[in-house]
Amino acid sequence: MSQETSVLIVDDSSIVRRVLSAELSKAPGIRVVGSAPDPFIARDKIMTLHPDVITLDIEMPRMDGLSFLRKLMKHHPMPAIIVSSLTPAGCKTALACLEAGAFEVVCKPGGSYTVKDLSSQLVELIKAAKKSGPTLQAIPTTPTENASTNAMIETTNKIIAIGASTGGTEALRVVLQGLPKTSPGVVIVQHMPAGFTTSFAARLNEICDIEVREAKDGDVVAQGRALLAPGDLQLTLGRDGARYIVRVRPGPLVCRHRPSVEVLFESTANYAGANAMGVMLTGMGDDGATAMRSLRNAGAYTVAQNEKTCVVFGMPRQAIDRGGVCEVFPLGDIAQQIVGFAQGRIKAKAA
């Protein structure tokens, strides 16, 4: 048996791959045989390079690391060390990784924990992992875990979901113009007929610092980008690995609308939970009010425009009355609330 321990580094960050490769290669007895930016490329490299151990990030495109780990331990068990910013000791994701068969879980550098500290720890763990072999545990997966290869317990990505109707075109202008390019990705339903949303998005794009465009099926919800639901189509949030994406599809009227705020908010509650902020702007009726309660129950921070600044205080009132709103603000304050949420200064309040 070779005295060297071969390692494959799996992380979507090119900087992390480069730094870890350089640091681990300095250690006697360790040979970095390659790296991969996502689980699909990792799968192919595992089959061709046959590493003794892999280091594995959690937040990656196409498939998250936890889903990949579960598949790996089922079909090609091998020692895996999780290296992620999502895995402080004792957190849900760390425990789930250990239950899925990870040899150990360590955090990425931060604060007083340096790259040098991480590298020293990894060297010892990698050598120990090779000796012990894969950590196979007879822990059954739940139906939820098997539901989707894109399912994740946690992600650091935040998202803003906005619903609006009557008076919403001006309200959206005020909110979006107040957002910096570092804002989390935004998804929007504004009640509008087909054919109008394209030009409306283009106009907002001209006057805002963030990118604003009409959503297309499969678009990534990225930092500094707002995606507007096309008229006469339903917009839902989904996941592609650690990334949020949108689905734009035909569908029935919901709350008498297509696109519907209810549809967007419900999918945001399901896929983003506490990483989401829901915003209900001016509008007639009750579209989105029930799903805003779902958002709040999922841990999201939810706000509504106040009556004084609304053209029609219908949708915000219904959302408030149904218990879906954490706080109420004048229109001019909402952009700053979004910025505060993005920076972690503002968090959800229990229902």
- Residue 151 pLDDT exceeds 50: no
Which residue pairs from 303-308 have beta carbons closer than 8 angstroms and sit at least 24 positions apart in sequence? 303/277, 303/278, 303/279, 303/327, 303/328, 303/329, 303/334, 303/337, 304/279, 304/280, 304/328, 304/329, 305/171, 305/279, 305/280, 305/281, 305/329, 305/330, 305/331, 305/334, 306/330, 306/331
Q: What is the SS3 assignment for 295? A: helix
Per the model's pLDDT, the better-predicted residue between 227 and 60 turns out to be 227
pLDDT of residue 144: 35
Supply φ then ψ for residue 234, to 5 degrees: -90, 140
Tell me the mean pLDDT in the region 287-314.
95
Between 273 and 154, whose confidence is greater? 273
In this structure, are residues 266 and 300 in contact, taking their beta carbons and an 8 Å threshold? no
Q: How far is the C-alpha of 196 from the C-alpha of 168, rounded, in Å?
A: 13
CB 129, CB 79: distance < 8 Å = yes
Structural contact between residues 127 and 5, judged by C-beta atoms closer than 8 angstroms = yes
**120, HSE (Cβ side, Cα atoms, 13 Å):** 5
Q: Catalytic annotation on 67?
A: no
134 versus 51: the higher-pLDDT residue is: 51
Sequence-ordered list of residues with C-beta below 8 angstroms from that of 57, at least 6 positions apart, any chain: 10, 11, 12, 13, 16, 65, 82, 83, 84
User: Which domains, and CATH codes, for the chain?
Assistant: 5-146 (3.40.50.2300), 159-342 (3.40.50.180)
User: β-strand 104-107 against 243-249: which pairing, if any?
Assistant: unpaired
pLDDT reported for residue 135: 57
**Other beta carbons within 10 Å of 297:** 15
Average pLDDT value for residue range 36-45: 95
**Which of 6-20, 100-114, 270-284, 309-323 has the lowest average pLDDT?**
100-114
Tens-digit pLDDT profile for residues 56-66 = 998 888 898 89
Half-sphere exposure of 12 (CA within 13 A, CB side): 17
> Is 294 labeled as catalytic in the residue annotation?
no
- Residues present in the chain in total: 351
Kindly report the pTM of this predicted structure.
Answer: 0.68
Token pair in block for residue 251: 């569908």
- From 64, 67, 287, 294, the catalytic residue: 287
Cα 209 to the center of its chain, rounded Å:
22
Residue with tokens 């907002």: 204
Instruction: Give tens-digit pLDDT for 174-202.
Output: 999 999 999 999 999 999 888 889 989 99
Give the model's pLDDT for residue 323.
96
The type of residue at 96 is A
What pLDDT, on the 0 to 100 scale, is given for residue 138? Answer: 35
Burial of 121 (C-beta count, 10 Å sphere; 0-12/13-18/19+)? middle
191 is catalytic: yes
Contact 51, 79 (CB under 8 A): no
The pLDDT tens digits of the residues spanning 80-101 come to 999 988 765 446 777 788 778 8
- Phi and psi torsions of 176, nearest 5°: -70, -35
Which is the catalytic residue, given 35, 84, 165, 260?
165
pLDDT in tens, 138-149: 333 333 333 333
Residue type, 49: L
Residue 261 — very low, low, confident or very high, per pLDDT cuts 50/70/90? Answer: very high
Q: What is the pLDDT of residues 328-350, one digit of tens each?
A: 999 999 999 999 999 988 877 65
Task: Say whether 31 sits in a helix, a strand or coil.
Answer: strand
Among 191, 219, 260, 294, the one annotated catalytic: 191
Mean pLDDT score across all residues of the chain:
88
> Which residues sit opposite 240 in a β-bridge?
243
